[in-house]
Amino acid sequence: MRDGGVIGEGFHAELGGLHAERAALADCHAKGADPAGATMYVTLEPCAHTGRQPPCVEAILEAGISRVVIASEDPSEKAAGRGPGILRDGGVKVDSAAGEEATAARLLNQPFRKHARTGLPLVTLKLAMSLDGRTATAPGDSPWISSEQSRALVHRWRAESDAIAIGINTALTDDPLLTARTPEARQPIRVVFDHEARLPLDSQLLTTLDQSPVLVVIAPEVDASALRAAGAEILVADSIQGALADLGRRGITSLFLEGGQTLASAFQAADQLDEARTFVAPVLLGGDQDASRVGGVGSGGPRTDAPRPPAGPPETATGPARQSALSRTVKSVGDDVLITARFREW
């Protein structure tokens, strides 16, 4: 910024792409604006090491930026405050944001912060339910519980995520596409937890590999040669934790769960949910079956969407008795109510 006006802006659009600082400086040059003497505002401290991109502190110094305001620190071992120190040594004034701005920056960077600290992706659960606790409609009814506005929001969330996950029961029942249907959307990797390798070879997922890769999580000693031949990537894991660790090693920092109550229960039992976003629709679906009710028998039946957990704790059939949210928000989306609960902050 200069004289209260924005002369350039940028963000880290994809793994391996320009970091936000370099993207903002490139935007300045594209607009014919000289960044020398300007103030740069960043949500995360500028990096000082070479990875897929060169250090951002070098670009800031070369551009002649006079002041940098940092909203949150970088928790990774390679950072640890090195960037701000180098900037100060180079004559740049460095300030730290506080209050609501600092909190907003930490929440914005939750996937990066968790991955930097644990090597695991941030896990966000999405559910849609009726007033009587149903998460699925009866056969023959419209498959949608939530409103059109809510579904549009879900597509935006998909585009913001590195990967989207369902369980095999959802794949068999709904045959979903799992793409983000928004203009110029970045498509997430599509993940199916399928410990017996039952995903049909003619499913929409496997016939649309040109749109986005499909990764199938299977249990050890299961033959997935047909899925591999069809073009699916195979991840072998004997637990939720193991699958998340492998996804993290692949560079996936955010995982969006849309697999329904069975997969949700498996992740909750493994204590691996960071956030939940639940749409409550103003409808009553009724019915006599419990399988689609939150907390019903369908959440703990003999067939699970997730890999079989190892024997004994910590992943049990019941999991934690209760998980209380650190923070929660409630807002209207169309005719629905969206409840967002954050269980951890990284």
**Which of these is catalytic: 14, 21, 62, 258?**
21
Q: Is the Cα torsion angle 331, 333, 335, 336 positive or negative in sign? A: negative
> Is residue 217 within 8 Å of 244, Cβ to Cβ?
no
Question: Which residues share a beta bridge with 338?
Answer: 279, 331
Question: Which residues share a beta bridge with 214?
Answer: 190
* Beta-sheet strand order (sheet of 189-193): 233-236, 214-218, 189-193, 163-167, 254-257, 122-129, 275-280, 336-342, 327-333
> Is residue 169 within 8 Å of 201, Cβ to Cβ?
no
> Is residue 300 within 8 Å of 265, Cβ to Cβ?
yes
Q: Is 21 a catalytic residue?
A: yes
What separation, in Å, do the N-terminal and C-terminal C-alpha atoms of the chain show?
Answer: 29
Active site residues: 21
